Amino acid sequence: MFRKQPNHTAYIEGWTLYAEQLGKDVGFYKDPLSDYGRLSSELFRACRLVVDTGVHYKKWTRQQMIDFMREHSALDEPDIQAEADRYIAIPAQALAYKMGQLKILELRELAKQELGDRFDIKAFHDMILNAGTLPLNILDARIENWIKEQKVAA
């Protein structure tokens, strides 16, 4: 059934954030200034987690959301207003981005620990991408099975 519904935001946007981080992982950013844009985006995504949770769990007002984003992000006022309205209208959607990235990072770390020197980042990425968009629990099972297969093949 999930294959007929191709929009798994946590997978799609999680991969996007993960891929953005790969530049840092491979050393493209030689100093903090060259990494500024990525860091600013990372801070904004962390703000999303706080603001979405604040409004839907802690019952923050729209103004509390706006104040938090003003203080903790580099967004301009029109974007802050639009983002606040988006999070109010679509509960938890903003969380999916970061949660997807964190899941992929968690799976990569698991694969590294389990496979040691046999860990192949390209093969790992192929396993993440080759099945198409998946719910995170299915992706988790897919990578765990791949790890088991790699251990048997060694």
- Exposure string of 44-70, with b = 16+ CB inside 10 Å and e = fewer, is bbebbeebbbbbeeeebeeeebbebbe
The pLDDT value given to residue 154:
73
At 93-127, the pLDDT tens digits run 999 999 999 999 999 999 999 999 999 999 999 99
Q: Where are the domains of the chain?
A: 2-153
The pLDDT value given to residue 6:
65
Residue type, 85: D
pLDDT at 52 over 60: yes
The pLDDT value given to residue 7:
78
The confidence band for 22, taking pLDDT boundaries of 50, 70 and 90, is very high
CA distance 15 to 43: 17
pLDDT at 3 over 60: no
Query: Which residue has better confidence, 153 or 127?
Result: 127
